[in-house]
Structure 1
Amino acid sequence: MSTEPDTAPAAAAAPDPQSGDEARERLPLVALLALATAVFVTSLTETLPAGLLPAMSQDLRASESATGQTVTVYALGTALTAIPLTAATAGRGRKALLLTAMGGFAVANTVTAVSSVYELTMVARFFAGVAAGLAWALLAGYARRMAPARLQGKAMAVAMAGIPVALAVGVPAGTFLGDRLGWRAAFLSMTALTLLLLVWIVAAVPDFPGLGRGERPKMLRTLRVPGVAPVLAVTSVFVLAHTVLYAYIATYLDDLGLGGSTGSVLLVFGAASLASIWIVGALINRRLRGLTVVGALLVALAAALLALLSDTTALVHVAAVLWGLGWGGVPTLLQTAVGDAGGESADSAQAMLVTLWNLAMAGGGITGGILLDVVGSESFPWTVLLLLLPVIAVVLYARQAGFPPRRPVAQTQAAGVDPT
């Protein structure tokens, strides 16, 4: 059984370079869109309570701040379990694990929808986070394994498109549904979507084997693989910077006197994020390093614009466009980078990235709350700028491993070498 789960299946699917059949290579779009929907479910389940807090708070007989911890406990469930679940399930078939994770979302969202007890809701949210930990450790590698080597970047971009769609469309739609039919209907709609997704996965998504008995992931050993640590460091700080502002964007805009523009700002951000994913998908094989630097610079430019020139609605929307263009492709870039750097330990590296991503999200929420109480919301864009300086420095420094000028797959193909 292969110890290179991300590259061996791609090699099997790739045409003989001597046959001239490269034009016949196609992305398995139906299967990849199923993964994108799984990413959508995972992302929206995490963020949906943000638009439903007042109604949830009333029904659960808890304060809004306490109800807001439904997002925190979800992130903790993911952060605490992604690595141990990846290690424990390394030998299992990938499709069965994906179905298990999505089934976990269906159960957790149903319990959340029908619960009137705060403690039960928190337990359901924690187990939704556990399901997310399992799903996130699978999804990036799954997308890579479905595609020929030269199309793996595009495959990742298609699968990760579920993130900005969830933020730009899912959260506003869930909030609208909650306003019209009640917050419970929003969570039940997630259950219905997940049930349809389970059927879709069974029908259209291929299965891949797990690791053999002697090939189980060694997490500490993965950290010593050249390039993994720099990618994980960039992930932690970049996500922290983004979350400090995103988690409190409504408060920030309200303090500017633009509270009525929150929906349109998020919509513009999401649309720009989708454009970013398309650009990243087209260029990632040749420009992963450059795209990561440009992404960080665009987010920094957006933060600078908000810090210095946020006195008009138009300029805030311009900043949202820059922010979305910089951030939208970041999940694809970082997951691809850590998968490339991890090599045979790619699944372990992905699990570490998922854990640090969620810890950084939780840290961003906490940091933003402290800044809000101590300094005020005007400190958010300056904090983003300060945090992005080490992000750019590490990406530029890690040119040998982590963020090389060209992806390893692209290099080997250019030389006419089979990457496996």
Structure 2
Amino acid sequence: MTATSVTSASTQPDTRLPLAALAVMASTIFIVIMTETMPAGLLPQIAGGIGVSVGAAGQLVSAYAIGTVLAAIPAIVMTRGVRRKPLLVIGLSGFLVANTVTALAPDLAVALVVRFIAGAFSGLLWGMLAGYAMRIAAPERAGRALAIAMSGTPVALAAGTPLGTWLGSVAGWRWTFAAMSVLIALVAVAALAIVPDVPGQEAHTRLPFAAVLRLPGVATILAVVFVWMLAHNLMYAYIAPYLQQSHLHLRPDVALVVFGIAAIGGIWVTGALVDRMMRRLVLAGVSLFIVAGVLLLATQGSTPLAILAIVLWGVAFGGSATQLQTATGDAAGENADAAIALVTTAFNLAIFAAGAVGGILVDGVGARSLPVAMIVLAAVALVAVGFGRHAAFRSPR
């Protein structure tokens, strides 16, 4: 009996999460987000250091985003059959080189080129990490594994970017990028030592991107990604003029730290529930955006009310990436990496659109119109989620 019991137990599938490997992936996401956002907090120092205007230095952010948009789909097309672990290390190596060269850049032209290259590697990593994280976990834990891997985003927003800005103000902006290079090297070594490898997608299962887009639910999810993230980025990118024009006694950096901490809570809730009630989480997250927008619209100079709105907004946003990517993986199946590359493109197009539309709203109508846009766009996303109940955002998984 004992031998039989032992044999039976030994054949049970291992459903434990590979926490160390997922921590490395979360650190990778942290690096991606930090590399993207660091220049925003260091623009005056960068501009002074390379002898350009603040506006010109701001193009370092744009160059990164353009690289991500242009590279995400081609990068996945070229690497769908490549084993995932070497690809992860290659992506980290690209960030290592880009951040190191940025730290040493003699002028704006060199910095723009390497920022574009960093954005291209970002497109590669965003396109493959979600599927990778889900594949190294048991199927019933895939959503939770993705939530852990995606936790690098709110941690970077809540702590990493403010810390990078502080380091740049104390030691100089070049040292901030140099410190990132050291961190990237450590994470790359950990990836080699800890993260298990999985094969790329077999050739006979690879659908063309046009066919992936036609898979049931994928187009609906992409529409929700664009509209929901447009609602978010309109408010996030222009939070400073909103706080100023609303006469709130709340500094933008404090508001963003509150947002980031709340986002960590959101991703924790998502990690606990996404494998059992993904659809409800998406509906709750989009609905919270509407509530937060209403509160921001009704602040009338009330700082406590604004903080409550920012907390709700952060909680809703914190789990959104995990929810959207999990839904995409469910809808696309073996072609998840290709579909998530489309999600990455939609996400970054929303960032572009938010910059343009937000600028028009702030300059033409005023920053207090931003919560109205947030409410309307979130309501559109909510309707899209409702219509997608049969093919997209299916729950339970």
Answer whether TM exceeds 0.5 for this pair: yes
Q: How does 1:205-244 map to 2 (within 5 A)?
A: 205-244=195-234
Tell me the TM-score normalised to structure 2 length: 0.95
2:222 aligned counterpart, secondary structure = helix
Pairwise CA distance, 1:214: 3.4
Task: Say whether the 8 Å CA contact 1:251–1:259 is kept in structure 2.
Answer: no
1:212-241 CA-partner distances (Å, limit 9, x unpaired): 343444100001110111111100111111
- CA distance in 2 between counterparts of 1:237 and 1:353 reads 12
Q: Which amino acid aligns with 1:261?
A: R
* Deviation string, structure 1 residues 314-347 (Cα, Å, up to 9, x no partner): 1111111110111100000000000100012111
What letter is aligned with 2:148? V
Q: Which residue of 2 aligns with 1:296?
A: 286
Aligned-pair distance for 1:116? Answer: 2.9
Q: 2:180 matched to 1:194?
A: no
1:365 aligns with 2:355: yes
Tell me, which stretches of 5 or more residues in structure 2 are unaligned?
A: 1-7
* Cα drift, residue 19 of structure 1: 5.2
Preserved CA contact (<8 Å) 1:47 1:171: yes
Q: Which residue of 1 aligns with 2:169?
A: 179
Code of the aligned partner of 1:265:
A
Distance 1:206 1:326 in 2: 31
Q: Percent identity?
A: 45
Q: Deviations over 1:235-254 (max 9, x none)?
A: 01111110011011123223
Partner amino acid, structure 2, of 1:225? L
After TM superposition, give the deviation of residue 405 of structure 1 in Å. Answer: 3.4
Q: Pick the aligned partner of 1:385 from 364, 371, 375.
A: 375
Q: Which residue of 2 aligns with 1:348?
A: 338
Computed over aligned residues only, the root mean square deviation of the Cα atoms, in angstroms, reads: 1.6
2:48 maps to which residue? 58
CA drift at 1:52: 0.5
Amino acid at match of 2:215: V
Aligned residues: 390
Where do 5+ consecutive residues of structure 1 fail to align?
1-17, 408-420
Whether the aligned pair in 2 keeps the contact of 1:157 and 1:277 (CA below 8 Å) is yes
2:262 equivalent among 249, 263, 272: 272
TM-score scaled by length of structure 1: 0.90
Q: Distance in 1 between matches of 2:127 and 2:291?
A: 32
Per the alignment, residue 314 of structure 2 pairs with 324
The separation in 1 between residues aligned to 2:267 and 2:395, in whole angstroms, is: 19
Q: Distance in 1 between matches of 2:262 and 2:357?
A: 26
1:133-152 matches, within 5 Å, as 133-152=123-142
CA distance in structure 2 between the aligned counterparts of 1:115 and 1:125, rounded to whole angstroms? 11
- Mapped to 1, the partners of 2:207 and 2:327 lie a distance apart of 18
Greater displacement, 30-39 / 310-319: 310-319
CA distance in 2, matches of 1:345, 1:23: 25
Q: For the residues of structure 2 that align with 1:254 and 1:169, how far apart are their CA atoms? A: 23
Report the residue type matching 1:143 in the other structure. A
Contact 2:136–2:198, Cα closer than 8 Å, also in 1: no
Contact 2:220 2:392 (8 Å CA) reproduced: yes
Contact kept? 2:14, 2:138, Cα under 8 Å: no
Amino acid in the other structure paired with 1:362: F
Question: 2:205 touches 2:334 (CA, 8 Å); kept in 1?
Answer: no
1: distance between equivalents of 2:13 and 2:88?
A: 31
In structure 1, what is the equivalent of residue 297 of structure 2? 307
TM-fit CA distance, 1:259: 6.7
